[in-house]
Amino acid sequence: MPKPLHMSETFEELIHHVRLDNEYRNNSISLVASENQPSPAVRAAEMALAGSCYSFSPPFKSEDSEWYFPSNPGLDSLQRRLSDTLNRTFHVKWADPRPNGGSPCEHAVALGLLRRGDTLFHMAHESGGHFALEPICEDAGIRISHVAFDPRTLQIDPDATAARVNGDPKAKLVMIDLSFLLRQQPIQALRSLLNEDVLLAVDISHPMGLVLGGVYQQPALEGADIVHGNTHKTFFGPQKGWVGFFPKSPRINLETVVKPICNKICPQLQSNCSTGSMLAMLIALEEALEFGHSYARQVVANARALARYCQSYGLTVIGESFGFTETHQVWLRIGQPEATLKLVRNRLNPAGVRTNNIALPGEKGAHGLRLGTNVLTRRGYKENDMEVVAAILKRVILGKEPTSKLREDVVEFLRPHPLSQLSYTLDSERHRALIREFAAATDLMGDIVS
């Protein structure tokens, strides 16, 4: 058996790992479209709650029964505040912030509404749909069909989709679950063409921060019955999720739609709803309500600039016909899957550029890079800085320089904007004040800072 470490040795080892993590994040150009950097206040908020109480009720009055847990007044009031803020911000009702991520959201919506033999229409993987939905639905006996997608415009085809859905008597739900999106989608046109009894759900995991910032469409105002998604992509919250229901939809019924989905979230798909993340999610919402408009505009401006500069440097950028992007994402075409993976693993990551390889929608199996400007924007970078990023990408992808030299230049580029000085968030003094208040209200944190 290995010899146990003394506490001092264990502590030093753990601190070493933490420093390695922080150094990696600080010294990497993060272009992952599905990640963001929470602020100090959001990170401190995740420490402030004990997080161990089973006190996370559905967004409606429920009857006490077996497995009743006593109500926690602090968590109950926080949950009401969080749900009310989501309701007002996204024009929904019965916002349920209990899911522990985006996949539980889409699983709960599908499994809560559909039965064996029913048909789910959603985005095919080759059209940019999320990979985690089909297997669990197929295991439940739910039939899978796909939304019609135009590879030239990279948008849903409303007429062709409606013809498919309305021609299937077992169709009950259409889910627009795009993980790859360069454009806004014709939600309103699609809703107007669907049969009245078919529900329309829209996953806003990727554009949540852009929706909140007013630069991307509000699905609930364009006819979506349900919106759902996670909270750590263009929105800079903790790794959480939520589902909201549009109150003006004639298809949204508390008993037949809201309760089945919310009960599927908990207790059926998960029993622990991460109560400790509630305060962090609320703080992130408050930050976004104050700074979200300027942040969202800059995210999209940076993405467009990055795409233009990448093209000018000889890289193959998807979407020139519509200005490359209307969101936070930029897609670069590389080629074969193996070559793209090798590029990410052996060149980009060692050089300090964090991104991932994907099969590009509409590109007939070609693979490439899905870049996102979420984190760089949060660090304070603007359009002109994207030329430097594009130049680094050119050197990594098309050149043969040693990655050690490239990493030196990456670190130098990132030095003026460390993660400790994020933009589009509270200033340092307000962060410190919030953290002090959290500490004062919490036994554990009070011991730490006293």
Contacts of 201 (CB under 8 A, 6+ apart): 106, 109, 173, 174, 175, 176, 224, 225, 226, 227, 228
pLDDT of 445: 55
Residues 177, 108: contact at Cβ < 8 Å?
A: no
pLDDT value, residue 61: 83
**Sign of torsion, CA 371 27 212 323?**
negative
What is the pLDDT, as a whole number, of residue 441? 80
Cis check for the bond before 267: say yes or no (omega within 30 of 0).
yes
Best CA proximity match to 261, nearest among 426, 104, 397, 150: 104
Q: What is the CATH topology of the domain spanning 53-61+70-281?
A: Aspartate Aminotransferase; domain 2 (3.40.640)
Q: Show the low-confidence residues of the chain (pLDDT under 70).
A: 1-9, 55, 444-450
| pLDDT for 5 | 56
This prediction has a pTM of 0.94
- 308 by DSSP, 3-state: which? helix
Q: What is the pLDDT of residue 344?
A: 95
